[in-house]
Amino acid sequence: MDSAAQWIERLGLQPHPEGGWYREVHRAAARVETERGGRSALTAIYYLLEQGQLSRWHVVESDEVWHFYGGAPLELLAYEPRTRAFRRTVLGTDAESIGVIEAGVWQAARSLRTYSLVGCTVGPGFEFADFRFVAAIDGHAAHFEGELAHYAGLL
């Protein structure tokens, strides 16, 4: 596949609220109990970002593993608001092809060229009820000063 449009059609991807394209490909039948209620043990999606699109800063209440599949490298950003620790990982290079975002850590991503095709595996499984945009969190703007100011445009 040479283009994002070809992958979007082949994989049946739909627009994602945070930006980009996605399709859920697995939702485990096994259930686990969380403080937020029952959840599938695991979910997995295809996720594609085209150049100029971004995965806006958001937070998920489960651990998420990003797997690089193809296209251009993907910039994956992680920020722990309690400690103010910031991490930038580039997936799709010889050194990195998997990124891990722990539950509660703020995250954002963007393709570094034409498009990036990745998979995201979440456990306990993803539910939109466990998803928030960072821009909706009280006091978020104070975190986007200094080192993180460069990434405020992803809000």
| Rounded distance between C-alpha atoms, residue 92 and residue 94, angstroms | 7
pLDDT tens by residue, 61-99: 999 999 999 999 999 999 999 999 999 999 998 766 899
Say if residues 125 and 65 touch (Cβ distance below 8 Å): no
Mean pLDDT by groups of 10 residues along the chain of 155 residues: 91 96 98 96 98 96 97 97 96 85 98 97 97 97 93 96
Cα-based distances in Å from 64 to 4, 43, 52, 88, 131? 23, 10, 23, 15, 12
pTM (2 decimals)?
0.94
Domain assignments of the chain as residue spans, ordered by start = 4-90+100-154
CATH superfamily entry for domain 4-90+100-154: Jelly Rolls (2.60.120.10)
In this prediction, residue 147 carries a pLDDT of 86
